[in-house]
Amino acid sequence: MLSYDDEGEPQPMDFQAPGATQLTRAEWDNNQFRRDMVYRREANVDSRVWDALVERQARMIEDQSFAFTTVQTVDEGERVVRYMALENRLNRRILGKRWLEACRIKGPDMAANIRTLPHSANDWTTYVFLNVSNFQNEPDGVFRGKRRGLLQEMMLASLVDIPDSRIIIGLAADLGGSPESYDHAFLDVIENEGEQLRRDARSAWAKKRRVFGPPVGNRHNEWSIPRP
């Protein structure tokens, strides 16, 4: 049986004897304890979504399947998996919830959703979630190529909103479509730092503002676009 620390990570309930925890009858019958356990299980549901995304990314690397990603080598892919897997349980709840929000269609005329998750004070990894509807019914390869290109542009645009990001990971899927339609991109800002990168970021941000208009949520975090 496990307890949880302030960040949502599981830990032995008895720190002094983690292999032999004993609950008293008062603890077992404590209604608040039961409610807390139920709450934690429910709160962790969104975090399991992130677990699945990490597992999916790991399988892609194992299969050396790079058709729908900017990653081209196993070493690059392993870097991405490590960054995603380092997120603690609390961050995984937030990331999983925001990913699900980006996947949902808010109305029949929606064409795309973007969520940008800034890095925390303890790390420098920013995430960009993009979900686009193939409302023009383009061939899958054509549509996914455009979507991946747009994802890379939106990752660059996030540097204007969050200029101190060091790592940017982008995930894209078909809005309201099959979950198998999934793309991925990775940008190491430090390795690519320079004036050209910042110019590209400003150009991408101008396109983001022109195409999507102002954000609908808090600052840069949430953008949506209706079908033309």
Q: Which of 168, 144, 153, 166 is nearest to 209 (CA)?
A: 153
- 60-64, 96-100, 133-137, 200-204: segment of lowest average pLDDT: 60-64
> What gap in Å lies between CA 45 and CA 139, rounded to an integer?
34
Burial label for 131, CB within 10 Å (0-12, 13-18, 19+), is buried
* 89-103 helix and 45-62 helix, angle to the nearest 10 degrees: 80
With a pLDDT cut of 90, the percent of the chain lying above it is: 16
Say if pTM beats, i.e. exceeds, 0.85: no
> What gap in Å lies between CA 209 and CA 195, rounded to an integer?
21
Q: Which of 33, 68, 52 is nearest to 184 (CA)?
A: 68
The confidence score (pLDDT) of residue 219 equals 45
Kindly report the three-state secondary structure assignment for every residue of the chain.
CEEECCCCCEEECCCCCCCCCCCCHHHHCCHHHHHHHHHHHHHCHHHHHHHHHHHHHHHHHHCCCCCCECCCCHHHHHHHHHHHHCCCHHHHHHHHHHHHHHHCCCCCCEEEEEEEECCCCCCCEEEEEEEECCCCCCCHHHHHHHHHHHHHHHHHHHHHHCCCCCEEEEEEEECCCCCCCEEEEEEECCCCCCHHHHHHHHHHHHHHHHHHCCCCCCCCCEEEEECC
Query: Over 60: is that where the pLDDT of 225 sits?
Result: no
- 20-24, 25-29, 50-54: segment of lowest average pLDDT: 20-24
| Per-residue pLDDT tens digits for 37-84 | 777 777 677 888 889 888 888 887 777 665 566 666 777 778 888 888
| Per-residue pLDDT tens digits for 171-201 | 988 876 655 677 888 899 998 999 999 999 9
Mean pLDDT of 160-175: 89
Q: Which of 89, 161, 172 is nearest to 128 (CA)?
A: 172
